[in-house]
Amino acid sequence: MRYTLAIHGGAGTIIRAQMSNAQEEIYNAALLSALNVGEAILKKGGTSIDAVEHTVCVLENNPLFNAGRGAVFAHSGRHEMEASIMEGKNLRAGAIAGVRNVKNPISLARLVIDRSDYVFMCAEGAEEFAKQCGVEFEKDGYFFTDHRFAQLMEIRDSDKVMMDHSAEQKFGTVGAVALDVHGNLAAATSTGGLTNKRYGRLGDSSIIGSGTYANNSTCAISCTGYGEYFLRAVVAYDVSCLMEYKGLSLAEACYEVINKKLVKMGGEGGLIAADAKGNIDFAFNSEGMYRGKITSESTAPIISIYR
């Protein structure tokens, strides 16, 4: 049985002319390090849910990406993070939202599956659960970067929110999807949301069916984009539905949702997808998406940024 792993580090207006060779190398190295961690698990016969969790942890620990350590600032001046994870075998899922100071939100989402009867926890309640589970917390300084703070200061006195970057519109969510040698799919997604967000705003990354979905009968999906559109379009589950009820292939279903339905609504972004046959698909309607993949049949990982 083969294994597959795909990852993303966000999508948006990512143009080659605006990226230096040095910047490209930094992003490529970050994506490669995440792929290597996930593949090591799959190569040893590990589970897809372990692979996606630990792969996303690597991305959360890298300040390049808008998740975990690199999360953007909310209007409050704090970091409000969200994440979700799902396994395709039993349709078990865990999600957390509005959490602060949790080093790896995706691991907390995993614990919601393993140590509770719930699917979704948020804010102070999720943090209380994290402490009971012995989850690692970090002080505010761990999440502070000059770049992110400057983004907040630029718009804090306005009602605007900002995507991942002021000059380049990027949706800095991170995610992973995997198929293990046992034939099981899993998906995971994590984000810091929007700069200057207020009122406990949540995006699609913590919502099962919108930003994350996995079902052994169809596919595993992790999304990145303008969350409000992905929520309204129920993007991740919609791909699965097209496969289950209309018989579309993975690539056909992803194209239908991302390049037709979402575009018609005015939504921008993309997704990574894997199915039980070992296929991987990257679908995005933006200029670029940080992405990578590796399979048991690969001679080397494939990493891409631009369209």
- Which of 259, 250, 274 has the alpha carbon at shortest distance from 225? 259
191 catalytic, yes or no? no
- Alpha carbon 35 to its chain centroid, in Å, reads 14
DSSP states of 186-238: EEEEEE---BT--TT---STTSBTTTEEE-TTSEEEEEEE-HHHHHHHTHHHH
The DSSP call for residue 277 is T
**Amino acid symbol at 109:** A
Q: Return the SS3 of 84.
A: strand
- Spell out the residues 6+ positions from residue 290 whose beta carbon is closer than 8 angstroms to its own: 8, 9, 10, 11, 14, 27, 31, 305
In the sheet that holds 269-275, the strands lie side by side as 212-214, 219-225, 269-275, 280-284
Distance (Å, whole) CA 178 – CA 159 = 39
Q: How many CA atoms lie within 13 A of 169 on its CB side?
A: 11
The DSSP call for residue 89 is T
Q: Of the residues 173, 195, 218, 224, which is catalytic? A: 173
- Spell out the residues 6+ positions from residue 42 whose beta carbon is closer than 8 angstroms to its own: 3, 5, 48, 51, 178, 180, 181, 296
**Amino acid symbol at 82:** E
Q: Which two tokens stand for residue 15?
A: 């143009």
Region label for 242, one of left (φ > 0), alpha (ψ between -120 and 50) or beta (otherwise): alpha
User: Annotated active-site positions, please?
Assistant: 173
